[in-house]
Structure 1
Amino acid sequence: MKSVMLMKELYLEAFKNIGSQFAKSYLKVLSWLFMASYIIVVFAFIFRASTGFAFD
């Protein structure tokens, strides 16, 4: 739980001092898209590993 709170704090601090509102919202969207993509990749790897896919 402590690591989740640290990640939240890092996320909030990262966008605190960005000047432009456009840049701030653009980077937030990109960070959420990256996080969603990463979760999909991890899910796909775990799914393939658990179903016996041969990684040759």
Structure 2
Amino acid sequence: MERFLLIKEIYAEAFKNWKNILLENYFKIFSWICFFLIAVALYAFIYRVSTGFSFGNF
């Protein structure tokens, strides 16, 4: 839980004193898209590991 609060604080601090609202919204959307894509990649990796996918078939 402490790690989540630290990430939340870093996120809030990153957008604290922005002057241009358009850039602020663009980077907020971009950061949420990045978080979503990382979550999808982690889900796919955990799914592959849990179903016994062999990573070394060369």
Same-fold call, TM cutoff 0.5: yes
1:9 aligns with 2:13: no
Q: Which runs of 5+ in 1 are unaligned?
A: none
TM-score, normalization: structure 1? Answer: 0.94
Q: Which runs of 5+ in 2 are unaligned?
A: none
TM-score, normalization: structure 2? Answer: 0.91
Q: How does 1:38-53 map to 2 (within 5 A)?
A: 38-53=38-53
* Aligned CA-pair RMSD: 0.7
Deviating 4+ runs (over 6 angstroms): none
Q: CA deviation at 1:17?
A: 1.8
Q: CA deviation at 1:3?
A: 1.2
Q: CA deviation at 1:49?
A: 0.6
- CA offsets 1:17-43 (integer angstroms, 9 cap, x no match): 222000000000000000000000000
